[in-house]
Amino acid sequence: MSSIATQAPLKSSAGPHSEHKSSMGPVLDVALRVLLFATALVAIIVMVTSKQTKLIPVAPGIAVPVAAKFNHSPAFIYFVAALSVACLYGIITGFLSVLALMKPGGVPTKLQIHFVMFDALLLGIVAAATGTAGGVAYIGLKGNSHSGWNKICNTYGSYCFHFASSILLSLISSITLLLLVWLSLYVLSKKIARRAI
């Protein structure tokens, strides 16, 4: 009986310590969701404003104005659509995380499971959009002599700088989503370990 009485205070004294450790999880979750929203929003703005018009010579003494815009490429349209979803998702889940942060019990396990599922789904979407836009950007930068695709970044420098910046920001969004998945899985594993004790 004395061994049971000495174990009970140990469990109760470990409780507040573990709650103190896990209290950084929701704060970090909110910060990462704000970062996701900010990087996705800026990437969308930079991509949508990427427009440049140049005079392209077609014959001696004749030049035609040719515009380069993001909506001329289906890959860039998909890129903007995927980042728009990520931006909206960042707002909604950031708001839910702030509400959960204010609750005394913290983030409910069911909500944490939903976060993991949707974070992973969105990670796949944003990473795919970043990859497709990066592939098109690489062809714009280097061209492809085998396919006969000419590089355009030597002519449309400002346009290329815009979409390169936007792709970099999208890569940061993808990494942020990966960190959110890892964080949610870590918090869930701690909750499961606490219930097992």
Q: Please, are residues 163 and 47 in contact by the beta-carbon 8 Å criterion?
A: yes
Query: Which residues are CB-contacts of 159 (< 8 A; sequence separation ≥ 6)?
Result: 50, 51, 52, 68, 152, 153
How far apart are alpha carbons 95 and 91 in whole angstroms?
6
Q: What is the pLDDT of residues 57-107, one digit of tens each?
A: 888 888 888 888 888 889 999 999 999 999 999 999 999 989 888 887 777
Q: Looking at the domain assignment, is residue 123 inside a domain?
A: yes
Q: Please, are residues 170 and 9 in contact by the beta-carbon 8 Å criterion?
A: no
Q: Looking at the domain assignment, is residue 79 inside a domain?
A: yes
Q: Looking at the domain assignment, is residue 80 inside a domain?
A: yes
* Segments forming the whole domain that contains residue 161: 25-196
Q: Looking at the domain assignment, is residue 117 inside a domain?
A: yes
Q: What is the pLDDT of residues 132-179, one digit of tens each?
A: 999 999 998 888 888 888 888 888 888 889 989 999 999 999 999 999
Domain count, the chain: 1
